Amino acid sequence: MAKKIPVIENETICGASIADFSSVAENITIWQRLTHQQYAKNTLVAFKNDWNSFLLFCAQHNSSPLPASAEIVHRYIEKMALTRKLASLKRYIVTIGLVHRCHALPNPCLSNEIKLAMHKQRLDKHDDYTNAYGFRDNHLHELLDSFMRSTKAKDVRDMAIWAMTFEAMLKRSEVTALTINDVEVTADGLITLSVNDNLIALSDVASDAVNRWLTLAMIDSGFVFRRIDRHNNIGDNPLDHSSIYRIFRRASQELELPTDVIFSGQSPRVGASQDLADAGLSIHQIQHQGRWRSPAMPAQYVGQRAKRDNTLKKFAEKNSNNK
C-alpha cells in the first residue's frame, strides 16, 4: 500500500489541507488530492473510512487527531482490536501515518509505543487464525519408526529436516540457508551445526538422519537441503520457505492427525519449546536454546500469555526510559 506521496510544502495549502482532514469527510475528494490519485478508488474509500473513524474516536476523547499523540493512537488500536482483524489494524496505522507524513507532522505510528502495541496485536491475533500446532518429540519418533529404513530420496530428506529442525529449533530461513560448510561431522558421526555464529550439537538420532541424507544425495558442497523433482532426481537448488511448509504439512498427514491439525514451518520451534517447558526449563532457558532475542515468543508458545505480556511491558518501559 505504501507509495511515495509527496509532502505538502506550501504552508498555506498545508494549513488548508489540515483543516480539511480535521473534520469527517463525506467523499474521497480530499484523499484524491492528498495522494495525487496514486491509489485505486476502493483504497481511498478505505482510507477515508479509517480516518473518519479515528477522527470520531479522537473527538470522543478530546484529543487532537492532527497531530495525534502516540497515546491516542495506541488507545484507538486497542479499542479497534476488540472487533477488527490484524489486517485492519495494520491499515489503520498506514492511514494515520500517511496523513501525518503528507502534512509534515510528526508520525506517531513510528514511535516505540505503537511499534510495541502492533507487535502485541500480531501475537494476539496470531492465535485467532494461525496458531502453529507444535511438532513435538513424540511426533518425531513416530516418523522415525516409519521412515528411518526408507531409501527414497524424499523420505530420507524429509526425515533429516524433521529431526534437525526440531532438535536445533531452526527457523525456516535457517534450514533453507544451511550449506555443507555449516555442518561438521565428527569421526563417530555426530553432527554440529553452525547457525548464525551459534554451534548446535545434534543427538545420535538426528545426526544419523542427516548423515543418511548427505550420503544418499552425495552432497559435498553447496546447500544441504535441495529440491527433488517428480522423477526422484536431486537438484542443486535449495528449498524455499513454502517447501519447508509442505514438508511439515506432510508430517501431519503421515501421522494421520485430525484434519484441523496441520504442521507448518514454525511447528518445530513451537513443539520444542513446549517439550522443554514440560521438562522443567525456564522461559529464559528456552529463549537461549531457541536463540530468541526476547522471551516473549517462547512464552507465547508454551501458553504463558501473562509472562509474554509482562515481557512486552518491560520492553516498552525500557524504550521509554531511553528516550
pLDDT at position 322 is: 53
Task: Identify the pLDDT of residue 234.
Answer: 93
Torsion of CA 283, 288, 290, 292, to 10 degrees: 90
CB contact burial 106-126 (16+ within 10 A = b; e otherwise): ebbbebebbebbbebbebebe
Per-residue pLDDT of the chain (323 residues; tens, 9 = 90+): 445 788 999 999 999 999 999 999 989 999 999 998 887 787 888 899 999 999 999 999 999 999 999 999 999 999 998 888 787 888 899 999 999 999 999 999 999 999 888 888 877 765 444 457 899 999 999 999 999 889 999 999 999 999 999 999 999 999 999 999 999 999 999 999 999 889 999 999 999 999 999 999 999 999 999 999 888 899 999 998 889 999 999 999 999 988 778 898 889 999 999 999 989 899 999 999 999 888 888 887 887 554 444 544 554 555 555 54
> How much is the pLDDT for 242?
87
Distance of CA 37 to the CA centre of its chain: 32
pTM over 0.75: no
pLDDT value at residue 55: 96
**C-alpha cell of residue 296:** 516473549
- Give the pLDDT confidence score for residue 321 in this predicted structure: 54
Whole-number CA gyration radius for the chain? 25
CB 107 within 8 A of CB 101: yes
Domains of the chain: 11-129 (1.10.150.130), 137-280 (1.10.443.10)
Q: Decide: 247 and 263 in contact? Cβ < 8 Å.
A: no
